[in-house]
Chains A and B, each alone.
Chain A
Amino acid sequence: MNERDLFDESVLRRALRLEADERAPRVLLTGLAPARSAWGDAAVRLAAGACLTLAGIAVAILLGGAAVNATVLAPALAADLFDGAIGLAVPAANGLAVIGLFVSPLTLVATIAATLLYVRFTERGADHARAS
């Protein structure tokens, strides 16, 4: 492209320069801070709202899930507890039966011994009374 085909740069610069009556308008800095503050407050409010909404959704999901799963889990949980109790009770009953094998004869012998001792003390008391 030939320079003669182009518009002169210096003329262009002079033409684009601001005229005396084209002064910039008043820029009020006092308007900037409230705008920023309002923007900041709005951002904080928006973030807080979003957090609350997300937290609410999370809680609702947890509670809903728990409610739904409870109907499925409760019978299974009860069955597990019952099985556990049976599992403990059966060995305990066997143990008690084994202990019972020893306890019954011993009780019988002790009873006989106590009876014999009672009879003997009773007879000795009667003899002593007769002698005196």
Chain B
Amino acid sequence: MGIALAMSLPRPAMAATAATAATGLPDFGAVVRDHTDLVYGVALRILGDREAAAEVTNTTFLKAYRAFTRYDPARSLRAWLVAIAANEAVSAGRALTRERARRAPVEEADAVADRAPAPEEELVAREERGRVRRAVAALPELYRVPIVLRYFSDLSVEEVAAAVGRPPATVGVQLLRGRALLRGSLAREGRP
């Protein structure tokens, strides 16, 4: 694993790169290189599943590549990609939920946890972060997606609203409600 991009672009991609230079769009190879972690992180935090998040990352960049000539450079590229990734992750999450319902239940959230040895403090902090992430993963999709877009992707409330297609005021309420649910959920587990 790791960010290892194949930088020798194929001809169509090279043509797209030349075209983007003419239209003022950024180079797509650089877009992928600079936003892979962001897109993957959004998918991972929404889905809580690395394999599914990896698939969503590829799908997101594939869709972005196809729609790149229609991308408006006046908009935030980061918000545009996060919106695509969030929508893809939500769709994948629903498919995953249906798939899991058909199969035996598995502990997906634990799959993200690191099992490598670490110093005690770091281990405690890591476990703490893991508990928060599991609590986020357990939130209803309605609150989980805005929480991830706002606190992982650092999008503004307006950008989150545009990405999820809801009014900013609604998103603001959902963020508050999501944080309240998280606090309640973690308090029940023993965290103050």
- Which residues of A approach B to under 8 Å, CB–CB? 1, 5-7, 9, 11-19, 21-37, 39
**Would A24 and B147 count as touching, CB distance under 8 A?**
no
Question: Considering the chains assembled together, what is the distance between the CA atoms of A36 and B19 in angstroms?
Answer: 15
Task: Give residues 15-72 of B contacting A (CB, 8 Å).
Answer: 16, 28-29, 32, 36-37, 39-41, 44-45, 50, 54, 57-58, 61-62, 65-66
Contact assessment for B62 and A26 in the assembled complex, using a CB-CB cutoff below 8 Å:
no
Contact A33 B13 (CB under 8 A): yes
* Cβ contacts under 8 Å, B12 to chain A: 33, 36-37
Using known A-B contacts A16-B45, A16-B133, A24-B3, determine if residue A32 contacts B37 with beta carbons closer than 8 Å.
no
Mostly helix, strand, loop or mixed at chain A's interface?
A: helix
In the complex, A31 Cα to B2 Cα: how many Å? 17
- A-B pairs with CB below 8 Å: how many? 120
Q: Which residues of B contact A6 (CB under 8 A)?
A: 176, 179-180, 183
Q: Is the CB of A18 within 8 A of B151?
A: no
Q: Which of chain A's residues has its CB closest to B38's CB?
A: A24
- Give the residue among B3, B8, B148, B179 with the most A Cβ atoms within 10 A: B179
Instruction: Assess the A15–B65 pair: CB atoms within 8 A.
Output: no
Q: What's the nearest-Cβ distance from chain B to residue A31, in Å?
A: 8
The DSSP consensus for interface residues of chain B is helix
CA of A13 to CA of B129 in the docked complex: distance in angstroms? 10
Contact of B186 among A7, A25, A31, A32 (CB under 8 A): A7
When distances are taken between beta carbons in the complex, the residues of chain B under 8 Å from A1 are: 176-177, 180
Enumerate the 6 nearest inter-chain pairs by beta-carbon distance, A residue then B residue, closest first.
A15-B132, A24-B40, A7-B182, A33-B12, A33-B10, A6-B179
User: Does any Cβ of A come within 8 Å of B110's Cβ?
Assistant: no
Q: Which residues of A contact B44 (CB under 8 A)?
A: 18, 22
14 pairs across A/B with beta carbons < 8 Å? A1-B176, A6-B183, A12-B147, A16-B133, A19-B126, A22-B50, A24-B37, A24-B54, A24-B57, A25-B40, A27-B57, A29-B28, A30-B9, A39-B66
Which residue in A15, A18, A31 is a CB contact (below 8 Å) of B128? A15
B6 & A13 in contact (Cβ 8 Å cutoff): no
* B104 interface residue (CB < 8 Å to A): no
Given contact pairs A16-B136, A32-B13, a sample of 12 additional A-B residue pairs in the complex whose CB atoms are under 8 Å apart: A7-B180, A9-B179, A12-B151, A18-B44, A24-B39, A25-B57, A29-B10, A29-B28, A30-B6, A31-B58, A32-B62, A39-B66
